[in-house]
Amino acid sequence: MSDEHSSILVPEAIRKVMVSHARRCYPEEACGLLAGDADGRLTNAYPLTNVAHSPVNYVIDPAEHFGALRHAESKGWDLVGVFHSHTHSPAYPSATDVALAADPDWLYVLVGMERMDTLSVRGFRIRDHQITETTLSFDSHH
Amino acid sequence: MTHTIRLPTILRVHAGGEATVSARGGTVGEAFADLGKRYPGLVRQLLDPDGSVPVFVNVFLNDEDIRYLQGLNTPISAPSEIILLPSVAGG
């Protein structure tokens, strides 16, 4: 997805999956993967298991990761990003997120839970240990 | 017997930018060894110094995680697809 100079539309259904998963997993970090189509649109969010079961770390279940890959491919999509929650810190990549960033092309979405009434959702690219914010726009009509 | 190995983006730099490569072998380990003849840098990423698969790489042979099979000794009886997935983790 080439979006360095534009925002990414996050359909409401996808935003809801990420936020709901973050609330459901609290106090542990929640995590999941994002699928997108060939036109760069986000098409699905997969809420997955954090096998670390930790409030400060996440590791996506490898089998569920594989299942999401197969599902996305069956729809003609690619896995294009990952989301996870920060239970007590801002929606900004941590040093661990940067160190472990798995794919320079992925969108990294953070759900910040510092304020439980208004969770913040922000997007980033992490390339060569550099963080660049990608503006997310939210569309309630999708 | 030639197998197709799918690489995650982060490893493609070690394989000339290719998304898929082919390798021959009767086990996953043999396929990796064959891969190492052409892409030694790639195999250095796939194997720890003790010859095991590092925790940050997940290896799926025909949809099965080789950790739950016989690891690198898992036999491959027919041309197969091996998918390498990076561990997705953070804090």
pLDDT at B6 over 80: yes
Residue of A nearest to B82 (CA): A66
pLDDT of res. A63: 97
| Residue ranges of chain A whose pLDDT lies below 50 | 1-3, 5, 142
Picking from A60, A82, A106 by the largest number of B CB atoms within 10 A of its own CB, the best residue to mutate is A60
The ipTM estimated for the assembled molecules is: 0.90
pLDDT digits (tens, 9 = 90+) for B29-80: 999 999 999 999 999 999 998 989 988 999 999 999 999 999 999 999 999 9
Residues of A in contact with B8 (CB under 8 A): 102-103
pLDDT of res. B18: 96
Burial class (CB in 10 A: 0-12, 13-18, 19+), B37: exposed
φ, ψ dihedrals at A110, nearest 5°: -110, 135
CB contact under 8 A, A58 and B87: no
The domain of A135 spans: 8-139
Please report, as a single letter, which amino acid is at residue B91.
G
pLDDT digits (tens, 9 = 90+) for A54-81: 999 999 999 999 999 999 999 999 999 9
Nearest-CA distance A62 → chain B (Å): 7
Alpha-carbon separation of residue B63 from A51, A53, A65, A136, B86 (angstroms): 20, 25, 11, 34, 15
One CATH from 3.10.180.10, 3.10.20.30, 3.20.20.70, 3.40.50.1000 for B2-86: 3.10.20.30
pLDDT of res. A1: 47
pLDDT of res. A4: 53
pLDDT confidence bin for B10, thresholds 50/70/90: confident
Residue of A nearest to B90 (CA): A97
Residue that wins the pLDDT comparison between B10 and A47: A47
Nearest to A56 among B58, B88, B91 (CB): B91
Token reading at A26: 């609290």
Domain ranges of chain B: 2-86
CB contact under 8 A, B88 and A60: yes
Domain containing A113 — which CATH number? 3.40.140.10
pLDDT at B82 over 80: yes
**Does residue A33 fall inside a structural domain?**
yes
**Does residue A20 fall inside a structural domain?**
yes
Residues of B in contact with A65 (CB under 8 A): 58, 85, 88
Q: How many domains does chain A have?
A: 1
**Does residue A3 fall inside a structural domain?**
no
φ, ψ dihedrals at A19, nearest 5°: -70, -40
pLDDT of res. B83: 97
